[in-house]
Amino acid sequence: MYNSFRWRVPKHFNIAFECCTRWAQAQDAIKRVAICAHNSAAAGTFYTYFQLQQAADQMSGLLHAHGVRRGDRVAIVLPQRFETAVAYIAVLQMGAVAVPLSQLFGPDALEHRLQDSGAVLAVCDAGTLGGMASVRSRCPALRALVCVDADMPEADIGFVYKPNSPIACVLPAQEAIKTVADDPAVLI
């Protein structure tokens, strides 16, 4: 068995399509749970694949409008929450490269990784935005900071997903880019 095993990797493969889009296109996507978000103050909030894809399409449109293109690196500096999954799906379906950064990194670690990766944009929350803003001037490739919480003065762009809002229905759906199976997707 070991000697005869071979990976069957298709020529074109997009992680976002495989992990979300194909499920969001299923007949029961409006009911199929993708994420259950819990916090200490409330019961779980359930998000379907349809909602995850809708939010990722919104974020992809926003990132594209701010110049993110295939192959660009996008830093994601978020704790575990719904918007983290949204950011990954949005970045990956564009053919951009996700650069996960720990929210525990100090300014030197953030600066080094942003410079080394050449990240053009960073997705943050209220808790990580200050650290990113403090190193921004020393990271010439970094063009914009997106905050997934309410409007924050240090952020260039705000992104708050609101299911079934008029803006959710107006923005066009983003097609997953036909990435080649060995195109870069995540830079750690």
The token pair that represents 175 in the structure block: 């097609």
- pTM of the predicted model, to two decimals? 0.90
For 40-61, b/e burial (b = at least 16 CB within 10 A) is eeeeeeebbbbbbbbbbbbbbb
Give a three-class secondary structure readout of 38-49. EECCEEEEEEEH
Q: Which of 30-44, 65-79, 92-106 has the lowest mean pLDDT?
A: 30-44
Average pLDDT over residues 18-40: 87
| pLDDT tops 70 at residue 4 | yes
Quote the DSSP letter at residue 148.
Answer: S
Residue type for 96, please?
A: A
Average pLDDT over residues 139-164: 89
According to DSSP H, which parts of 28-176 are helical?
49-65, 82-93, 107-117, 126-135, 166-170
Average pLDDT over residues 132-145: 96
- Residue of 95 and 181 predicted with greater confidence: 95
Sequence-distant (6+) residues with CB within 8 A of 167 are 58
pLDDT band at 173 (very low <50, low <70, confident <90, very high): low
Q: Which of 105-119, 123-137, 144-158 has the lowest mean pLDDT?
A: 144-158
